[in-house]
Amino acid sequence: MAKTPKKETRQELEPTIQKAEPVSRALSPFEEMDRLFEAMMPRRWMRPMRWEWPSLSDIAQPFEGRMPKVDVIDRDNEILVKAELPGVKKEDIDISVSDNSITLRGCTSHESKEEKGDYYRMEMSRGEFTRTLTLPADVDSDKAKAAYKDGVLELTLPKLTKSKRRAIKVE
């Protein structure tokens, strides 16, 4: 018995369309606008690497929890130490030297008062630092010299023995 081909009706050929169920609630026009702006320009582009403006407490206390920047320069006959000490008075710096190390201590203090009628404002800030550096050679602490100008401390420390340098070829 041969089978006769079945005629397909038009309804069987058309795909069935089903209504999609909403996954989430519809956004308001303002929420949609915020979503579009966030997609184009995320808020973090204004704060690269999460840099923030310094707080007033950081500005008022320059050395609280931080160390001053220091350069140590090794010369043939001497060692030059330069330290950035902004806002520190000459009288508030303490330097102690041993054979191959140096310790820098300092403090800052600031006090301001303002009085206008019933208004009274007073601010005080303090900061301290201590930094000990190991020097590349032994120095003669009796012949050490220090100069302080414009917030930069320069120490000249003569070496006990002249350093012997030699060139090394890079292969």
Q: Please give the residue that has the higher pLDDT: either 76 or 23.
A: 76
pLDDT at 61: 47
pLDDT of 4 strictly over 90: no
- The pLDDT assigned to 86 comes to 85
Residue 53 has pLDDT above 70, yes or no: no
The count of domains in the chain is: 1
Lowest mean pLDDT among 16-20, 23-27, 70-74, 78-82: 16-20
**Predicted pLDDT at 1:** 54
Residue 68 CA to residue 61 CA, distance in Å, equals 13
Q: In the predicted model, what is the mean pLDDT of residues 119-145?
A: 88
Q: What is the pLDDT of residue 121?
A: 87
Per the domain annotation, does 24 fall within a domain?
A: no
- The bridge status of strand 70-74 relative to strand 78-84 is antiparallel
Q: Is residue 63 part of a domain?
A: yes
Mean pLDDT for 76-103 is 89
Residue 33 included in any domain: no
Q: Is residue 51 part of a domain?
A: no
Q: Give the span between the Cα atoms of 25 and 135, in whole angstroms.
A: 68
Q: Is residue 136 part of a domain?
A: yes
Query: Does 146 fall in a domain?
Result: yes
CATH number of the domain at 68, please. Answer: 2.60.40.790
Task: Determine, yes or no, domain membership for 80.
Answer: yes
Host H or E run for residue 93: strand 93-97
| Within-domain flag for 103 | yes
Which domain, by its residues, includes 144? 57-158
